[in-house]
Every structure is written in structure tokens, then in C-alpha cells.
Amino acid sequence: MICQEFEARLQAFVDGELDVETMTTAQAHVSSCPECYGRADGERRFRVLLRQQPQEVAPPELRGRLLAVARRERRRATLRLWVGAPALATAAVLLAALLMTRALPPGPSAPRLVDMLVDKHLAYAQIESPAEFTSSEPGQVATWLRDRIGMRVPVPDYSQAGIRLVGARMSEAEEQKLAYLLYEKGHMLMSVFMLPNTAETVTLPGKVVSYRGHEYLTRDRKSLRTVFWRDGQAVFSLVSMLDYDALLECADRLRTERARETRL
Amino acid sequence: MLRWVRGRAPAPEFEEVALVHLDLLYRTALRLTHNRAEAEDLVQETWLRALRHFDQFDPGSNCRAWLVTILRNAFLNKLRREGRERLESEAAGDAGRSAAFEDSAVERSTPEEEFLQTVFHGDVERALKALPETSRQVIMLADLEGFTYREIAQVLSCPIGTVMSRLSRARQLLRKELQALAREHGYSGESR
């Protein structure tokens, strides 16, 4: 390589953008030509100078704003999906909240807890893989949960109604562990939270509804419907955008299954 | 009746993938707009566009080049909306001028870089501001942000050869500007 050839490749040489073969030839030339060595060295120092310039960073508020924009956009995208989809196919069942806690403080915290579960559902619905343990097999999910909370948990099979079991996860609310079951109908989610040993003194806020001989409480919040009930020491709750009929049907089956398991 | 749907909504990984490039995006926007408020708006617009098209992003490909491409396109669209065409007109004259500059590069025999020692903080930003838009962009991507030729070619949607000629020209222009500033600071060495 002669000086003129090297000079034509000087920029790419210093930028490390030459192919291996040319790079080797260029390197050989530089090591034997003081002038070209000087040229390359000058270029390098120039690059270093530029690279050392103080770099602006984005203002922290911008970061926060972008995260909020992303959250809002995700909600809007979700909304667009519902609106565009046929009513039946988009029927969302959110069977939320089989609540489990050892010592739920009585009184005022109860409404907060029920609402918190709705928030949890919304939060999980935004996660791509909300289930910590993924399985469509009720037996497997029940075993996974039992190992974590030390009690038998009913995991109803709603597949005949087109509601597919997705999996489960452990969660907590009010510093108490709770178990969470996740179902899906089409693109719609249905979650179940479980909270055992809820103090008798805890009053649950909601409208009383009777279905197949059992009483349930219902509550609307953030466009979600919640159906919950006390079963012995445990509190169960279903939250959904489905209509109350579907939710109550799911609740009834869960209740039946739990009664059968308790008898066993 | 409102229903909650889980499905093709953008995956949360977008933030993880994109947020690490926020400073780069902000700096790039700042260098394009020369205005902090406009830069923030541009970054936000870029962010939203990227989020909406995140499903088209190939996770194996280059994220920062993808994001900067979106940012640049958003900026160009904004200019068009505002009836300013300075980037385009400049790009059109680019090819002719760069050939002339390459000739002069070959003539250059002894690149003295002593003046670099007298370059003060802030000089580079000042000198960059004096450069034409296209020159500033390639310098910024290559020398300040460390983009490869290929990445720059993606951002500017031009061949790698064009990147090389633009970059070569831009560096000469920048060097000249810096030398002028060095003279202002009292550097008396020979400058060409």
C-alpha cells in the first residue's frame, strides 16, 4: 500500500471500518511510514477529543413522562381491541380474588383490600406473561399453589365454557400472601385471588346478590365487576368485565368445587 | 359494556429495550432542534411511534439505530409540516460538494493536530453548531455517539459510501471550525 492509497482509507482505518485484509495491509503501511503514522495518530486524537465531550443526559422528568406515556398507550391499545372486537368473542371473565390472609385487619381496610385486588388484576393484565406458573392443567396448578401456601386450593376447570386456565402466581396485599389464579377467554382475562382466614369482623363492601341459593357481594370499580364472598375463614373474589351472570356462574362452580374438596 | 382484553397490546419489554437509549435520543433531538422543550417533545413523539411499531422491531436487530431513525423521521416530518426543507436541500447538494472535499483531503499532507490541545470545553458544541445540518448529524452519530457506518447508513437511509464521504467532509469542516476557535483562544500555530 502506498501513501495515497492509505490516505484514501485513513478515515475508515481509524474508525475500524476496514475489512480484515485491508486493515492488515494498512496497518503494515502505517508501521513503516512515519508520515501516515502521524496522520492516523492525528485522526485518532481528534476522535478522542470529540468522544471526551461532556454528554448531556435526558432530564429525569422526561424519563417519568415517557413511562407514563407508555402506560397510557398500552391502555388505549387495549381499549381499541375491545371496541374493535365482536361482543361475544371479547367477553372478558375476570374471576378475581380468592383471598388468602392470616390476619386481615378488620373494618376500614376491607374495602381498600377489595379495590386493591382490582388494581392487581389491571396490573397483571398489562404484563405479557402474568402467570408465575403456567399450566392449563388444574391439577398441576393446584399442586403448585398448595406447595406455596400450604393448603388445598380449588382450581375449577371452566374449559367447557371456553375459559382456559392460564396459570397461577403468588401475590400479596396488605402485607398478606394471597394466591392468584388466571384464566383466559379469547383475549380476555379472568383472575382469582384467594385470601384465607379473614377475620369474621371484616365487613365486605358491596351489594348483596343471591345466586343458586348462595349470597354474593358485588362491586363495580374501574369498569370491572367484582363478585366476592366469604366461605368459612376464606374470602374469594372474582373480578371481571363480563356480566354478572357469567361471573356468578363461575363463582358458583368454584364454590361447589371448594365444598367438595372440603368434604374430602 | 367494557371489557378487558389482553392481547396484541405493546409488550412491556419496550421500556426495557428503549429506555437505555433515552440519553442518546435526547442528545440527538437536542442537536436537531437546538431547543430543550422541542427536544423533549421530539423524544416523546419518537417514543410513542416506536412503542406503536414495536411489534415490527426485530429483537435481534439494532435498537439504537432503529430509534434514532424514528427520531430523525419524526423531525423531518415536523420540518415538512412547518414548511422548512433545510435538511433536504442540503442533502441534495451533498454529493457534488463531497467529491471536491475528497480531492482536497488527498492533497492534505501534514495534518498538524496541535491545535487540539487548545480546544476548550464547549468549543466542540460551538463548532458543531456552525456546521451544516448533514455534517453535524454524521459527526454526532459517528464521533459523539460511536455509531458504525452501517448504523449511520440505516439512520440516514443512504449507502455506506455516502456515509463515508459525508463523514470525511464533516470532519474537515469541524476541524476548520475548531482551528478558528483555537485561534480565538490565542493558538498561533500554523493552521490550514
- What is the DSSP code string of B88-111? HHHHHTHHHHHHHHHHHHHH----
Calculate the alpha carbon distances from B30 to A49, B134, B140, B146, B152 in Å.
20, 15, 11, 17, 18
For residue B120, name the pLDDT band (cuts at 50, 70, 90).
Answer: low
Q: CB–CB of B22 and A8 under 8 A?
A: no
For residue B173, name the pLDDT band (cuts at 50, 70, 90).
Answer: very high
Min mean pLDDT across A26-40, A157-171, B38-52, B99-113 is at B99-113
Q: Return the closest-CA partner of residue A104 out of A230, A191, A200.
A: A200
Which of B:46-85 have CB within 8 Å of A?
Answer: 47-48, 51-52
Rounded Cα–Cα distance for residues B86 and B89 (Å): 5
What's phi and psi for B47, nearest 5 deg? -60, -45
- CATH topology for the B87-184 domain: Arc Repressor Mutant, subunit A (1.10.10)
For residue B189, name the pLDDT band (cuts at 50, 70, 90).
Answer: low
pLDDT at B112 over 60: no
A–B interface: beta-carbon pairs under 8 A = 154
All residues of chain A having their beta carbon less than 8 Å from the beta carbon of residue B11 are: 128
Which amino acid, A37?
Answer: Y
What's phi and psi for A199, nearest 5 deg? -55, 140
pLDDT for the residue numbered A198: 64
Asked if A120 contacts A193 with a C-beta cutoff of 8 angstroms, the reply is yes
A197 CA: distance to closest CA in chain B (Å): 30
Q: CB–CB of A188 and B119 under 8 A?
A: no
Q: CB–CB of B26 and A62 under 8 A?
A: yes
Min mean pLDDT across A234-248, B27-41, B144-158 is at A234-248
pLDDT at B137 over 60: yes
Q: Which three cell numbers stand for residue A223?
A: 369498569
For residue B191, name the pLDDT band (cuts at 50, 70, 90).
Answer: very low
A115: left (phi over 0), alpha (psi -120 to 50) or beta: alpha
Distance, first Cα to last Cα, chain B:
75
A248 CA: distance to closest CA in chain B (Å): 17
pLDDT for the residue numbered A72: 82
Best B1, B2, B5, B169 member to test A by mutation, with max A CBs in 10 Å, is B5
Q: Return the closest-CA partner of residue B42 out of B76, B17, B11.
A: B76
pLDDT at B35 over 70: yes
pLDDT at B45 over 60: yes
B9 reaches A (C-beta below 8 A): yes
Q: Each residue's pLDDT tens digit in chain A (264 positions)?
A: 888 989 888 999 988 888 888 888 898 898 899 999 988 988 888 888 888 777 788 988 888 888 888 888 877 766 655 444 443 333 334 333 333 333 334 443 456 777 888 888 877 776 667 788 888 899 999 888 887 776 778 899 988 888 889 899 888 776 667 888 988 877 678 888 888 766 665 667 778 888 888 889 888 887 788 898 888 778 888 987 777 888 898 999 998 888 887 666
Percentage of chain B beyond pLDDT 90 is: 29
0.90 exceeded by the pTM?
Answer: no
Q: CB–CB of A125 and B44 under 8 A?
A: no
B12 reaches A (C-beta below 8 A): yes
B2 CA: distance to closest CA in chain A (Å): 6
* Boundaries of every domain in chain B: 13-84, 87-184
All residues of chain A having their beta carbon less than 8 Å from the beta carbon of residue B142 are: 15
pLDDT for the residue numbered B69: 92
Asked if B112 contacts B188 with a C-beta cutoff of 8 angstroms, the reply is no
A121 CA: distance to closest CA in chain B (Å): 10
Q: Return the closest-CA partner of residue A128 out of B21, B64, B62, B54.
A: B54
Which of B:122-141 have CB within 8 Å of A?
Answer: 124-125, 139
Mean pLDDT value across chain B:
76
- The CATH label, of 1.10.1240.10, 3.30.420.40, 3.40.980.10, 1.10.1740.10, for the domain at B13-84 is 1.10.1740.10
pLDDT for the residue numbered B119: 66
pLDDT for the residue numbered B61: 76
Q: Return the closest-CA partner of residue B4 out of A124, A165, A60.
A: A124
B187 reaches A (C-beta below 8 A): no
